[in-house]
């Protein structure tokens, strides 16, 4: 068995290794050191490579997950040795000592629309923090015998940075999004809902455009955040979102970026391009993720420029975008990026370059590929 090529994934802690042999369709196996006895001998060998956490095997590939900040170059060099292959990581410069890309998944636990706990996960690490006393008191007022059953864990998306910092950032956002007046209303609605069988859903009042404009100019960032949090963006809101992109609070700028991505108009696209130059790497990466979800090749020039971003998480997103939808014009920028000091960025740039040089048509983003399969 041989590895045909290596492909990075959106998670910096996982690599996809394509093989020249395939399992039968429908077979999916996940192996760790705990169940290695059930694994083929070659997978057992890979599991004992320092830094390897688990291996997922299906069809003609394996997804290899690493522990924490283990070095991909070291891991893949040993994979190369196990398979007796040369050149899997040849020509790559030494990876620096910084932490891995810092990608983390954020979840918030709710009970009847009242946030209770924040969970931030990255690999095997997890940070959990509870919210302030006023949230605990609100939950106590509406607690019922079905409390455990009614708890919901809501996905708050991906953030970047240290787990504790991310958790505190999300805590700030929830504190701002739930001023006491809103929290009191949720409690009243939840009590009125009683033990009804249907799931409780908070009824929120939408702000008028005039109220929204006034709130987004409030000197208190928490008022501004609470306002933009309730916004259901339409094209007429673009001037408000454009102003929000200049807010001094990063969370508000990032929220504006997400809404602009929902609109997908020519004007909103131009504003997303501008957001790729935001002072915050988190906002730039969110803008890059949004542009990648849209998958419009018109974003190629700004993504080419982002290959030189001082943040590795932004450079990786730019390289991934160019792999998915990039064209011939991106070759010079990708050639330079293929020598990026970050392993994941370099590998992704090389993949994009190889696809373009081979004349292979861009497959599009994951969402575009799924839509295409649905139509077929």
Last residue of a domain, one of 140, 164, 193: 193
CATH of the domain at 13: 3.30.1370.70
Last residue of a domain, one of 83, 114, 146: 83
The count of domains in the chain is: 2
Q: What is the 3-state secondary structure (H, E, C) of 33-64?
A: HHHHHHCCHHHHHHHCCCCEEEEEEECCEEEE
Residues 6 or more apart in contact with residue 265 via CB below 8 angstroms: 235, 238
Residues 6 or more apart in contact with residue 318 via CB below 8 angstroms: 288, 303, 304, 306, 307, 309, 337
- Does one domain contain both 24 and 73? yes
pLDDT in tens, the chain (376 residues): 888 888 877 666 788 899 999 998 888 888 999 999 999 999 999 999 999 999 999 889 998 988 877 888 889 889 988 888 755 543 333 333 233 456 789 999 999 999 999 999 986 689 999 999 999 999 999 987 567 778 999 999 989 888 999 999 999 999 999 999 999 999 999 999 888 778 899 999 999 999 999 999 999 999 999 999 999 999 999 999 999 999 999 999 999 999 999 999 999 999 999 999 999 999 999 999 999 999 999 999 999 999 999 999 999 999 999 999 999 999 999 999 999 988 888 888 988 998 898 877 665 544 444 444 444 4
- 227 found inside a domain: no
Last residue of a domain, one of 172, 193, 214: 193
- 354 found inside a domain: no
Give every strand in the sheet of 125-130, ordered side by side. 125-130, 114-122, 103-111, 151-160
The whole domain housing 68 covers 3-83
């Amino acid at each position: 068995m041989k590895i045909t090529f290596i492909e990075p994934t959106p998670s910096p802690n996982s690599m996809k290794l394509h093989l020249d042999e395939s399992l039968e369709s429908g077979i999916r196996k996940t192996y760790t050191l705990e169940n290695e006895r059930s694994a083929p001998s070659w997978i057992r060998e890979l599991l004992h490579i320092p830094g390897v956490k688990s291996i997922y095997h299906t069809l003609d590939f394996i997804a290899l997950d690493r522990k924490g900040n283990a070095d991909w170059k070291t891991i893949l060099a040993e994979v190369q040795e196990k398979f007796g292959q040369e050149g899997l990581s040849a020509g790559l410069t030494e990876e620096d000592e910084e932490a891995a890309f810092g990608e983390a998944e954020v979840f918030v636990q709710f009970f009847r629309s009242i946030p209770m706990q924040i969970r931030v996960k990255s690999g095997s690490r997890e940070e959990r923090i509870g919210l302030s006393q006023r949230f605990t008191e609100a939950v106590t007022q509406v607690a019922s015998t079905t409390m455990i059953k009614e708890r919901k864990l809501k996905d708050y998306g991906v953030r970047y940075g240290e787990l504790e910092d991310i958790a505190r950032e999300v805590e700030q956002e929830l504190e701002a999004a739930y001023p006491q007046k809103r929290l009191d209303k949720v409690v009243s609605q939840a009590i009125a809902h009683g033990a009804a069988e249907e799931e409780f859903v908070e009824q929120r009042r939408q702000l008028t455009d005039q109220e929204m404009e006034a709130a987004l100019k409030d000197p208190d960032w928490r008022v501004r955040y609470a306002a933009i949090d309730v916004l259901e963006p339409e094209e007429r809101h673009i001037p408000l979102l454009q102003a929000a992109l200049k807010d001094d609070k990063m969370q508000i700028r990032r929220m504006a970026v997400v809404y602009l991505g929902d609109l997908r108009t020519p004007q909103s696209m131009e504003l997303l391009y501008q957001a790729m130059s935001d002072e915050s790497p988190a906002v730039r990466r969110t803008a890059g993720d949004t542009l990648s979800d849209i998958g419009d090749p018109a974003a190629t020039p700004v993504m080419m420029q982002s290959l030189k971003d001082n943040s590795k998480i932004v450079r990786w997103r730019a390289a991934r975008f160019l792999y998915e939808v990039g064209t011939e014009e991106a070759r010079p920028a990708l050639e330079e990026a293929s020598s990026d000091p970050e392993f994941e960025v370099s590998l992704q740039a090389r993949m994009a370059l190889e696809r373009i040089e081979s004349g292979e048509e861009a497959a599009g983003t994951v969402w575009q590929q799924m839509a295409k399969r649905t139509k077929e």
